[in-house]
Structure 1
Amino acid sequence: MSFNSANKTILIAPLNWGLGHATRCIPIIKALQENNYIPIIASDGAALELLKKEFPYIQTLKLPSYRIEYAKNGENFKWKLLKNFPTILKAIWKEEKKVRKWIKKYDIDGIISDNRLGVFSKKIPSVYLTHQLNVMSGNTTWFSSFLHRQIIKKHKECWVPDVSEKLNLTGKLGHIVKPDFNLKYIGPLSRLHKKEVTKVYDLMIILSGPEPQRSVLEEKLKNEIGKHKGNIVFIQGIVEKEQKKDQIENVTYYNFMNSKQLEQTFNESELVLCRSGYTTIMDLAQLGKKAFFIPTPGQYEQEYLAKKLKEEGLVPYAKQDLFCIENLNEIDNYKGLNPFETTNNWAILFEIFEK
């Protein structure tokens, strides 16, 4: 435990793009509490609602929405994002304005921004959390990566939730030659823990990410899983006020799960079918699970990670429009993911807020 924090207040702000940014902030929020800091959570949409459920006694603040949406046709995702760019810029400007007010109003001593581009201050120590030192965008990767690094350089430190060694999870996403900013690899982050429990489900399906692609995949999988024998748990990734549970033949449906339920269900499941989002990959590695990936169409990062892990003989994948339930038989030919032997010294990492 830190003896220097003197109950300093830290604003932690994850991006609302799927649920991954929010969930990987959960272990950081817990570490802040354990080291005598007072976290304030800021986000919007489903990410904020999830964190409210996880931490009902922590103060939360609402940030402007970036209104990130996927195109129905994955090939058009980049162009839809560019079309929405003015909306995103406006949200970032509003974000900066709100943060300036909040620093004074709530006496904030430090900031941890998980890919929130406008959550930053020169007046107090600011940390930027990201696994995307390179931002994949097809033939414009060099430009999107350059722009992102200009944001990173504004902060005192950049934390990458991966290891610096050759064997790592992010590959070229999270590793660059000669960074010109203060970079720290803090190890993969997961809110989950491995447990020895009796297996209940043959297959766990977990969805996440912005619409409409979440719904597109849900409908496709509902048609496919009728061919799969064995018990299935299907978590739809819809954060609502109340949890809903439905049983249809051999499939148990949940709209969402909290961390404790999710941890139990992961451990009770033999195989996992999911997107290849980086937070999900960190969770699978932490739990040592075997999985099958369906990358979000048009999202270059997920496509890159799925291809990387397949080439390393760890996890197979298929494109969304080509997936069929029989593809799951390929899992037996792959090793699966395993945890990294890393332990975070949070007290040392949080020293930035004592300077």
Structure 2
Amino acid sequence: MIKKSLTPNISVKIKGKNVLVAPLDWGLGHTTRCIPIINALIINHYHVILAASGKSAALLQKEFPHLTIVPLAGYHVQYAQSSTWLPVKLLLQVPKIIRAIKNEHAVLHEMVQQYSIDWVISDNRFGLYHPAVHCTFITHQLTIMAPYQWLRNLLQRINYQYINRFDTCWVPDMGGDEGLAGILSHPKQLPAIPVQYMGMLSRFESTTTFHPEYVYDYCFLLSGPEPQRTRLENIVLSQIEQIDASIIVLRGLPEQANAIKSKHNILSHLPGKALQQVIEQSKFVIARSGYTTVMELLSLQKKCFFIPTPGQTEQEYLAERLADLQLCFMVKQEHLNIAEQLTALEQFPFKTLQPKIFTAQQLKLLIQNL
């Protein structure tokens, strides 16, 4: 297996216009945050090829029906239901993850030759580095949160060993003290390769400078890996039946038809523009605290109620950090009592954020600094 040099190599340039974009398959967050990158590439006249499978491929097919999507197997990582068992659960899956990384690395060589790839943009796919092609790794997790400091240190060393095989690392956050993700994206020590902060990624572009007339009191956005997505859905659907308010629930299932009956609006999925309209027409948004969801909702300056996925220490850290900054209201899933907490939500003293958003112009600047 040929490895990249572990020292920065800023002399490697992009030779042409064929770009492979490949998001990780852990939930849909990595896929949706690639949408503004893909749009920026298209605006800058790059020829984009996508690599994905399953729900990620289904979502990308709906957003970009004119683009080629090459099948690429995912990692299929399963999370623990609690933080206590997370280290054990992850360690047991290490062999499977390593096999997936080796497989995608081998597949990439075939893709580069078949599609004449000039540039690879990998969102957290560790195996998509190539000795003859410029490869960019996207991650906001330079620090991987874990319940124990020894495990956090170990995971960061392993994380950096893989990241350093790429040519550049892009971090979807604001630089300096303005960083949204805290120590996740702003660790004490950075990888050896050049690191660039690209601003917050959002497929949404705010179209109003005033508060629109609200159609919905509460919008529930369900997302993330199974089985926790389904568990939260079951809790939400059972509890909102007793709530007298205008509610819409988006299930985060782009591959399924709408088939749930309720007095409220229950939809499996909405494409980007329709989703943004629903979010902007909602007074409050209740969602997981996945980083992509956080970036998109705060970019629209929405009042958010975050419910971290149990066992995902990153989401727990983000929700607690943002709640401390009064940028969101948060409750853990095991304490969820929607009727009571919606009353508290109405009284929460929200602060607003002035985010720096990634744009097509920002892409040009990142490319110039490769």
TM exceeding 0.5: yes
SS of the equivalent of 1:163 reads coil
1:25 Cα deviation from its structure 2 partner: 0.4
1:78: how far off? 3.3
Contact 2:327 2:353 in 1 (8 A): no
- Is 1:348 aligned to residue 348 of structure 2? no
**Which of 328, 339, 347 is 2:342 aligned to?**
328
Contact 1:315 1:337 in 2 (8 A): no
- Equivalents in 2 of 1:352, 1:100: separation in Å? 26
Deviations 1:94-124 (A, max 9, x none): 1000001111111000110000111111211
Q: Percent identity?
A: 36
- 1:260-297 per-residue CA deviation (whole Å, 9 max, x = no partner) reads 11111111110011110000000111100001111001
- AA aligned to 1:28 is I
Q: Return the alpha-carbon distance in structure 1 between the equivalents of residues 241 and 74 of structure 2.
A: 37
What amino acid is aligned across from residue 287 of structure 2 in structure 1?
A: C
> Could you tell me how far apart the structure 2 residues matched to 1:23 and 1:151 are?
23
Separation of aligned partners in 2, 1:158 and 1:103? 20
**Partner of residue 201, structure 1:** 216
SS of residue paired to 1:155: coil
Tell me, what secondary structure is at the counterpart of 1:166?
helix
- In the alignment, is the contact (CA less than 8 A) between 1:7 and 1:36 conserved in 2? no
Is structure 2 residue 70 aligned with structure 1 residue 61? yes
Q: CA RMSD in A?
A: 1.9
Amino acid at match of 2:236: L
Give the aligned length.
Answer: 348
Q: What residue ranges of structure 1 are gaps of 5+ in the alignment?
A: none
Contact 2:305 2:330 in 1 (8 A): yes
Q: Tell me, what secondary structure is at the counterpart of 2:177?
A: coil
Instruction: Tell me the equivalent position of 2:80.
Output: 71
Check whether the contact 1:40–1:61 (CA below 8 A) recurs between aligned residues: yes
The structure with higher relative contact order (CA 8 Å, sep 6+) is 2
1:72 is displaced (CA, Å) by 4.5
Question: Counterpart in 2 of 1:51?
Answer: 60
> Could you tell me how far 1:239 is from its partner in structure 2?
2.1
Deviations 1:13-72 (CA, angstroms, capped at 9, x unpaired): 000111110001001101111111111111222112111111011001111221122334
Cα distance change of structure 1 residues 341 and 103 upon mapping to structure 2, 3 Å threshold: closer
Q: 1:12: which partner in 2?
A: 21
Tell me the equivalent position of 1:177.
188
Question: Letter of the aligned partner of 1:183 in structure 2?
Answer: V
2:160 aligns to what? 149
* Structure 1 residues 66 and 261: CA distance shift in structure 2, 3 A: same
Matched AA of 1:146? R
Going from structure 1 to structure 2, the CA distance change for 1:6 and 1:199 (only over 3 Å counts) comes to: farther
**Equivalent position SS for 2:364:** helix
Q: What one-letter code is carried by the residue in structure 2 that aligns with 1:216?
A: R
Deviations 1:303-324 (A, max 9, x none): 0001101111221211111111
CA distance in 2, matches of 1:7, 1:153: 23
Paired residue type of 2:296: D
1:335 deviates by: 1.4
AA in 2 matched with 1:348: L
Alignment of 1:302-321 (within 5 A): 302-321=315-334
* Conservation of the 8 A alpha-carbon contact between 2:202 and 2:358: no
- Counterpart of 2:258 (choices 234, 244, 251) is 244
Shift of the 43–157 alpha-carbon distance from structure 1 to 2, 3 Å rule, reads same
Moved more, 334-343 or 47-56: 334-343
Normalising by structure 1, we get a TM-score of 0.93
Counterpart-to-counterpart distance in 2, 1:343 and 1:71: 33
Q: Give distance in 1, aligned partners of 2:319 and 2:201.
A: 19
> Which of 201, 220, 234 is the aligned partner of 2:235?
220
Letter in 2 for 1:350: I
Which of 116, 123, 127 in structure 2 is aligned with 1:114? 123
Q: Distance in 2 between matches of 1:11 and 1:71?
A: 32
Most deviating of 63-72 and 308-317: 63-72
The 1:341/1:115 distance shift into structure 2, 3 A limit, reads closer
When normalised by structure 2's length, the TM-score is 0.89
Aligned to 1:229: 244
Residue in structure 1 matched with residue 113 of structure 2 by the alignment = 104
